[in-house]
Amino acid sequence: MNSRTDGMFKGIYNGKQCHVSDIATVLSRAWSAGVDRIIVTGGSLEESKEALAIAETDGRLFCTVGVHPTRCKEFEESGDPEKHFQALLSLAKEGIEKGKVVAIGECGLDYDRLHFCPAEVQKKYFEKQFELAYATKLPMFLHMRAAADDFCEIVERNKDRFTAGVTHSFTDGAEDRDKLLSFQNMYIGVNGCSLKTKENLDVVRDIPIERLMIETDSPYCEIRSTHAGNKLIKSVWPSKKKEKYDQESVVKNRNEPCLVRQVLEVVAGCKGISDIEQLSRTIYHNTCRVFFPQDLDSAADALLSAGHDP
């Protein structure tokens, strides 16, 4: 769940109020669907503060602290990049003490959107954020788009500075998938954006289950009717346009955490896996191993034996 766009969960789309704030309804729908925890993503210093504030409202909510590649100019625009870095570090430490901050990120490289931030600035502050991971001993929540060579080179240089990581919203090809899998402590996260084409499904099919995570990246990256993965979906929710908001329905074209079930179903379908519950338990275990290692033995194993959904 991206804090930077929780405006949509306040009913605001492109600056226009379309319906009442419905974060509580969205969360209730997620818990009812079997979602166990949600990590709210920070993409800038201010957003990371907001993500922590959201995470403090519910015991099942957690968050990240970091700067997205497209926002890395904020280090220099702050007037004092080192002071900006220290503010991120102190926020991360505060969140760790509260039991809420579980990763550094979202950070990485995005060469599809260089108009927001030049590659050299992205690379500099991607590398810098490994210092946050090293200082806090936290895993990393990573973003890689059209930048695999530089991304993997930076990860290689810093692979001993972070405990583990997930490259989320993966949309690249088989070669880049295999580059990521060559890092022992790297997982690959998939969502609706990862499941658009037959080629995408072929790439996801060959990600080993023990290195896989699923996510929604809501309110983005929903699985649309035009996507190749759509035919593998089994679970559907009633939906209505934002202008005809009804709290019993999801908002059309706005992704929600409950829809992670659909991602699970598409992954199972493209891998030819019929035991979807066992797949969900394995993926949940992967997620706990990286983000919630302190309760891996007790909570995750209890969930595994209870046959809990993700």
What residues are designated binding site for a divalent metal cation?
A: 19, 106, 143, 168, 217
SS3 63: strand
For residue 82, how many other CB atoms are within 10 A of its CB? Answer: 10
* Binding-site residue positions: 19, 106, 143, 168, 217
Q: What are the structure tokens assigned to 91, written together?
A: 């926020």
SS3 250: strand
How many whole angstroms separate alpha carbon 269 and alpha carbon 264?
Answer: 9
How many whole angstroms separate alpha carbon 280 and alpha carbon 226?
Answer: 25
Closest C-alpha among 90, 95, 104 to residue 290: 104
SS3 171: coil
Q: CB within 8 A of 241, min separation 6: which ones?
A: 251, 252
Q: Are 102 and 138 in contact (CB under 8 A)?
A: yes
How many whole angstroms separate alpha carbon 177 and alpha carbon 10?
Answer: 36
SS3 4: helix
Q: Are 57 and 281 in contact (CB under 8 A)?
A: no
